[in-house]
Amino acid sequence: MRQESTCLLGECLEIESCHSQGDTIPILKKMLKEALDLTLDEPASSNLMFPTPNSEYDTKRDIVSISVDNRIAFALLVRQNRISKRMTKKEVQ
């Protein structure tokens, strides 16, 4: 996070296009969660892969952890597992 004027800016380190802003840290966290959920919420037919969170960031200053909605996280993990094992959606079901 970095502060410019009166606005806080935040970005997801693992996903380049995921960023947001807010006037306070709680608002910024809320906005980042919304941006992350929207970015990761792909249709089941999608073959888009996203990186998993990098735990090396956990101890760095000015870095906060943002939780993804459980429904989105589960769907993402199922899709990534399906793709990595070259399975069809029907095989996963």
- Going from N- to C-terminal start, the domains of the chain cover 2-92
Name the residue among 27, 30, 21 with its Cα closest to residue 1.
21
Separation between Cα atoms, residue 1 and residue 73, nearest integer Å:
23
Q: State pLDDT tens for residues 22-68.
A: 999 899 999 999 999 999 998 877 888 888 877 777 666 778 888 89
Distances in Å between the Cα of 80 and the Cα atoms of 11, 41, 44, 47, 69 are 23, 13, 10, 8, 16
pTM (2 decimals)? 0.77
Q: State pLDDT tens for residues 1-30.
A: 565 567 899 999 889 889 999 999 899 999
pLDDT at 45: 79
